[in-house]
Amino acid sequence: MKMRAVCLREPWLYLMLELPAPWRKNVENRARCLTRSLGPILVKSSAVNKGSKKLKYEDADLPYYERTRRRVVDELRLVPANLFPAFEQLQFGGIRGAFNFAELLEPHDLRDGQHPWKFSECFGYAVDRAHLLPFRPLKGGGQGIFYTDITNEEAEALSSAGLLPVERSTLKIKSLELEYEGSVEGAKRVMGAVGDLLAGGRT
Protein backbone atom coordinates (compact mmCIF):
# COMPACT_ATOMS: atom_id res chain seq x y z
CA MET A 1 0.00 0.00 0.00
CA LYS A 2 1.23 3.48 -0.83
CA MET A 3 0.75 6.55 1.35
CA ARG A 4 1.53 10.18 0.78
CA ALA A 5 4.45 11.53 2.77
CA VAL A 6 6.40 14.68 3.47
CA CYS A 7 10.00 15.24 4.50
CA LEU A 8 10.83 17.42 7.53
CA ARG A 9 14.14 18.61 8.83
CA GLU A 10 15.33 17.77 12.30
CA PRO A 11 14.97 18.77 15.08
CA TRP A 12 11.49 19.96 14.01
CA LEU A 13 10.20 16.44 13.42
CA TYR A 14 11.33 15.29 16.86
CA LEU A 15 9.44 18.23 18.38
CA MET A 16 6.26 17.09 16.59
CA LEU A 17 6.47 13.38 17.41
CA GLU A 18 8.36 12.82 20.65
CA LEU A 19 7.73 15.71 23.04
CA PRO A 20 5.10 15.41 25.79
CA ALA A 21 1.73 16.58 24.49
CA PRO A 22 1.66 20.00 26.27
CA TRP A 23 4.93 21.02 24.60
CA ARG A 24 4.58 19.24 21.27
CA LYS A 25 4.92 21.28 18.08
CA ASN A 26 1.50 21.04 16.40
CA VAL A 27 1.89 23.21 13.30
CA GLU A 28 4.06 22.48 10.28
CA ASN A 29 5.13 25.77 8.67
CA ARG A 30 5.98 26.10 4.99
CA ALA A 31 6.96 29.09 2.86
CA ARG A 32 4.78 27.65 0.07
CA CYS A 33 1.51 25.76 0.19
CA LEU A 34 2.28 22.03 0.08
CA THR A 35 -1.29 20.86 -0.51
CA ARG A 36 -4.85 21.84 0.27
CA SER A 37 -5.79 18.21 0.81
CA LEU A 38 -6.04 17.47 4.53
CA GLY A 39 -5.88 14.09 6.26
CA PRO A 40 -3.23 11.55 7.31
CA ILE A 41 0.33 11.92 6.08
CA LEU A 42 3.51 9.94 6.67
CA VAL A 43 6.55 11.92 7.86
CA LYS A 44 10.20 11.32 7.02
CA SER A 45 13.26 12.99 8.49
CA SER A 46 15.63 14.55 5.97
CA ALA A 47 19.00 12.93 5.35
CA VAL A 48 22.14 13.92 7.23
CA ASN A 49 23.82 16.99 5.79
CA LYS A 50 27.22 17.91 7.18
CA GLY A 51 27.87 20.59 4.59
CA SER A 52 29.34 20.46 1.11
CA LYS A 53 30.66 22.68 -1.64
CA LYS A 54 27.08 23.55 -2.57
CA LEU A 55 25.88 24.06 1.00
CA LYS A 56 27.46 26.46 3.45
CA TYR A 57 28.47 24.96 6.79
CA GLU A 58 26.03 27.31 8.56
CA ASP A 59 23.15 25.48 6.83
CA ALA A 60 24.41 21.98 7.66
CA ASP A 61 22.68 19.94 10.34
CA LEU A 62 24.67 20.75 13.48
CA PRO A 63 24.71 24.57 13.18
CA TYR A 64 21.09 24.47 11.97
CA TYR A 65 20.21 22.44 15.07
CA GLU A 66 21.94 24.96 17.33
CA ARG A 67 20.12 27.91 15.72
CA THR A 68 16.79 26.10 16.04
CA ARG A 69 17.43 25.32 19.69
CA ARG A 70 18.20 28.97 20.46
CA ARG A 71 15.06 30.11 18.65
CA VAL A 72 12.68 27.60 20.23
CA VAL A 73 14.12 27.53 23.75
CA ASP A 74 15.63 30.97 24.33
CA GLU A 75 13.73 33.34 22.02
CA LEU A 76 10.22 31.89 21.64
CA ARG A 77 10.30 29.85 24.88
CA LEU A 78 8.05 27.20 23.39
CA VAL A 79 9.96 24.24 24.85
CA PRO A 80 11.85 23.95 28.18
CA ALA A 81 15.58 23.42 27.76
CA ASN A 82 15.47 20.04 29.51
CA LEU A 83 12.97 18.68 26.94
CA PHE A 84 14.80 19.81 23.83
CA PRO A 85 16.59 16.79 22.32
CA ALA A 86 20.35 16.45 22.16
CA PHE A 87 21.74 16.37 18.63
CA GLU A 88 22.78 12.73 19.19
CA GLN A 89 19.14 11.74 19.80
CA LEU A 90 18.03 12.72 16.31
CA GLN A 91 17.54 10.17 13.53
CA PHE A 92 18.09 11.24 9.93
CA GLY A 93 16.97 9.91 6.57
CA GLY A 94 14.00 7.70 7.30
CA ILE A 95 10.34 7.23 8.17
CA ARG A 96 9.67 8.46 11.71
CA GLY A 97 5.89 8.45 12.05
CA ALA A 98 2.69 10.08 10.85
CA PHE A 99 0.15 12.69 11.80
CA ASN A 100 -3.04 14.23 10.53
CA PHE A 101 -3.20 17.51 8.61
CA ALA A 102 -6.28 18.84 10.39
CA GLU A 103 -6.41 22.44 9.12
CA LEU A 104 -4.60 24.73 6.70
CA LEU A 105 -3.76 28.14 8.15
CA GLU A 106 -3.08 30.91 5.64
CA PRO A 107 0.06 33.07 6.09
CA HIS A 108 -1.88 35.96 7.66
CA ASP A 109 -3.89 33.67 9.98
CA LEU A 110 -2.36 33.79 13.46
CA ARG A 111 -5.67 33.29 15.38
CA ASP A 112 -4.67 35.78 18.07
CA GLY A 113 -2.10 33.45 19.55
CA GLN A 114 -4.21 30.28 19.45
CA HIS A 115 -1.43 28.57 17.51
CA PRO A 116 1.89 29.61 19.10
CA TRP A 117 3.77 27.31 16.71
CA LYS A 118 2.30 29.11 13.66
CA PHE A 119 4.94 31.45 12.22
CA SER A 120 3.92 34.59 10.37
CA GLU A 121 4.35 34.76 6.58
CA CYS A 122 4.10 30.94 6.39
CA PHE A 123 1.39 28.51 5.44
CA GLY A 124 0.70 26.42 8.52
CA TYR A 125 -0.70 22.91 8.72
CA ALA A 126 -2.28 22.36 12.13
CA VAL A 127 -1.68 18.71 12.99
CA ASP A 128 -3.11 16.23 15.46
CA ARG A 129 -2.86 12.50 16.23
CA ALA A 130 0.95 12.53 15.99
CA HIS A 131 2.11 8.91 16.05
CA LEU A 132 5.71 7.70 16.33
CA LEU A 133 6.71 4.65 14.26
CA PRO A 134 9.87 2.53 14.47
CA PHE A 135 12.56 4.26 12.43
CA ARG A 136 12.92 2.89 8.89
CA PRO A 137 15.64 4.26 6.56
CA LEU A 138 14.27 5.67 3.32
CA LYS A 139 16.08 7.47 0.53
CA GLY A 140 14.60 10.31 -1.49
CA GLY A 141 11.59 12.42 -0.73
CA GLY A 142 12.39 16.00 -1.68
CA GLN A 143 10.65 19.11 -0.40
CA GLY A 144 7.10 18.44 -1.56
CA ILE A 145 4.50 15.72 -1.15
CA PHE A 146 5.56 12.30 -2.40
CA TYR A 147 4.18 8.76 -2.21
CA THR A 148 5.91 5.74 -0.73
CA ASP A 149 5.10 2.16 0.19
CA ILE A 150 4.37 1.34 3.82
CA THR A 151 5.02 -2.00 5.50
CA ASN A 152 2.28 -4.23 6.88
CA GLU A 153 3.44 -3.41 10.41
CA GLU A 154 3.22 0.32 9.69
CA ALA A 155 -0.23 -0.07 8.14
CA GLU A 156 -1.46 -1.94 11.22
CA ALA A 157 -0.06 0.69 13.61
CA LEU A 158 -1.47 3.57 11.56
CA SER A 159 -4.87 1.90 11.33
CA SER A 160 -4.98 1.57 15.14
CA ALA A 161 -4.09 5.26 15.44
CA GLY A 162 -6.77 6.31 12.94
CA LEU A 163 -4.14 7.46 10.46
CA LEU A 164 -4.55 4.99 7.62
CA PRO A 165 -5.97 6.82 4.59
CA VAL A 166 -9.41 5.79 3.40
CA GLU A 167 -9.29 3.77 0.21
CA ARG A 168 -10.92 5.61 -2.69
CA SER A 169 -12.74 3.99 -5.60
CA THR A 170 -14.31 5.65 -8.63
CA LEU A 171 -17.50 4.20 -10.08
CA LYS A 172 -18.52 4.87 -13.68
CA ILE A 173 -22.02 3.87 -14.79
CA LYS A 174 -22.83 5.06 -18.31
CA SER A 175 -22.50 8.86 -18.01
CA LEU A 176 -22.67 8.79 -14.22
CA GLU A 177 -19.43 9.12 -12.24
CA LEU A 178 -19.30 8.82 -8.46
CA GLU A 179 -16.47 8.94 -5.94
CA TYR A 180 -16.85 6.51 -3.06
CA GLU A 181 -14.72 6.36 0.08
CA GLY A 182 -14.43 2.83 1.37
CA SER A 183 -13.35 -0.67 0.41
CA VAL A 184 -13.47 -2.06 -3.11
CA GLU A 185 -16.12 -4.54 -1.94
CA GLY A 186 -18.22 -1.67 -0.64
CA ALA A 187 -17.80 0.14 -3.93
CA LYS A 188 -19.11 -2.87 -5.80
CA ARG A 189 -22.20 -2.98 -3.57
CA VAL A 190 -22.86 0.70 -4.19
CA MET A 191 -22.40 0.19 -7.94
CA GLY A 192 -24.94 -2.65 -7.87
CA ALA A 193 -27.45 -0.53 -5.94
CA VAL A 194 -27.07 2.41 -8.33
CA GLY A 195 -27.41 0.06 -11.27
CA ASP A 196 -30.67 -1.27 -9.86
CA LEU A 197 -31.98 2.28 -9.51
CA LEU A 198 -31.08 3.14 -13.09
CA ALA A 199 -32.63 -0.05 -14.37
CA GLY A 200 -35.83 0.77 -12.51
CA GLY A 201 -36.02 4.22 -14.05
CA ARG A 202 -35.62 5.97 -10.72
CA THR A 203 -33.13 8.67 -9.77
DSSP string, the chain: -EEEEEEE-TTHHHHHHTS-GGG---EEEESS---S--EEEEEEEPPP----SSS-GGGSHHHHHHHHHIIIIIIS--S-GGGSPPGGG---SEEEEEEEEEEEEPTT--GGGT-TTPPTTSEEEEEEEEEEEEEEE-----SS-EEEE--HHHHHHHHHTT-SPPPEEEEEETTEEEEEES-HHHHHHHHHHHHHHHHTT--
Summarize pLDDT for 98-134 with one digit per residue, the tens: 999 999 999 988 776 789 999 988 999 999 999 999 9
Listed by start position, the domains of the chain span 2-160, 168-199
Q: Determine the pLDDT at residue 110.
A: 77
Average pLDDT over residues 173-180: 51
- Single pTM value for the model: 0.77
Domain 2-160 -> CATH class: mainly beta
